[in-house]
Structure 1
Amino acid sequence: MLIAFGAASFGAAATGTIFRPGNWYKQLDKPLWRPPDWLFAPVWTVLYVSIALSGWLVWREAGIAGAALPLGIYALQLLLNAAWTPIFFGLQRPGLALVEIVLLWGSIVATIVLFYPVSAAAAWLLIPYLAWLSFASALNFSIWRRIRANTAAKGAL
């Protein structure tokens, strides 16, 4: 089952191999506090391992039947995680991606809250994920705001 949780976790990451940042993203006005591009892959790799391990710990403790709601919300956050990349990079819609990442953030908080009574370790394993996603949300917001400001400035000319 650990392999299955790993496959599900890294399955969510697979959209990143299909929808790459590309020239559109490189040309965006991004904040100076944005980390370098090379940092994203190793950070997400560690996070996806922790996400998989977290789900597996809950399954091991309570099984599917004993943790149906927590594991259902866990599955929802994986789906939302997988959806962000196609929205942001594929559709090139940072505003829609911002709405989606807020939903993802909420689903991670719900997963942590629901996992904690079943396995405190599983809940704690998701805290770095929530922290990184909080940072990613701020970055998404900043990029969206800069695009809007640049578009408004061009319209004023």
Structure 2
Amino acid sequence: MTASTQGVLKKALIAVPAIVIFGSLIGYWSNSGFSNDWYAPLAKPSFQPPAWMFGVVWTILYTLLGIALAIVLQQPPSKERRDALWLFGGQLLLNFAWSPVFFGMHMIDVAFVIIVTMLVMALAAARYFRRLNPLAGWLMLPYLLWLCLATTLNYETGKLNPGADAAPLGITGVKS
């Protein structure tokens, strides 16, 4: 095992659990998912994955993000690495903000703005990651694909449930 591989593993042993645990705690604290009394009765898009899939998928995605982050952290310091880390950190903060806004505050349109911004930042971060280390960029691809689905689910949930948004901006549903 090379010193670089050992460095990535050491960083991953911190990054992966930190992202998975923090993401899981945010979801728990914001009462994310189908057991949420506000969300449960809402009409869902026909392509909505089953409830059990969300926890499994997010655990896998957060793990892949942690590994990608560890790989980039192992790269030599540079402006490109710094920019990549800022973009990654920014989109991750938005990721952690989304559940409390959507499930906790019932703000469908605000959550939509957050997730679109998150998707753009995650795409930019993945491009930087790919330039720094192709594997790091590829590890973000499943996350980007899931974010596309999540963005569509957020939008369609607003369209299907006019009046359910606690702070409508007129993006997804009818203002109440």
TM-score between both structures, scaled by the size of structure 1: 0.89
Aligned to 1:18: 29
Alignment partner of 1:110 is 2:121: no
User: How far, CA to CA, are the matches of 1:26 and 1:106 in structure 2?
Assistant: 29
- Per the TM alignment, residue 7 of structure 1 is displaced from its structure 2 partner at its CA by 3.9
Pairing 1:68-87 to 2, within 5 Å after superposition:
68-87=82-101
User: How far, CA to CA, are the matches of 1:33 and 1:133 in structure 2?
Assistant: 14
User: Which secondary structure state, in structure 2, belongs to the residue aligned with residue 24 of structure 1?
Assistant: coil
**Structure 2 residue aligned with 1:9, among 19, 25, 29?**
19
Q: Is the 8 A contact 2:15 2:67 kept in 1?
A: yes
For residues 62-119 of structure 1, give each alpha carbon's deviation from its aligned partner in whole angstroms, at most 9, with x where no partner exists.
2587721111111111101100000000101111100100000011101011111111
> After the TM superposition, which segments of 4 or more aligned residues of structure 1 sit over 4 Å from their partners?
63-66, 149-153
For residues 4-44 of structure 1, give each alpha carbon's deviation from its aligned partner in whole angstroms, at most 9, with x where no partner exists.
31244222342101011311111001112111111100011
Aligned to 1:38: 52
Residue 128 of structure 1 aligns to which amino acid in structure 2?
Answer: P
Change (3 A) 1:90 1:52: same
User: How far, CA to CA, are the matches of 2:60 and 2:164 in structure 1?
Assistant: 35
TM-score between both structures, scaled by the size of structure 2: 0.80
Percent sequence identity is 30
Structure 1 unaligned runs (5+)?
none
Aligned to 2:66: 52
Higher fraction of helix: 1
Name the count of aligned residue pairs: 154
Q: Is the 8 A contact 2:130 2:137 kept in 1?
A: yes
The structure with higher relative contact order (CA 8 Å, sep 6+) is 1
Residue 125 of structure 1 aligns to which amino acid in structure 2?
Answer: L
Structure 2 unaligned runs (5+)?
1-10, 166-172
Change (3 A) 1:66 1:110: closer
Residue 54 of structure 1 aligns to which amino acid in structure 2?
Answer: A
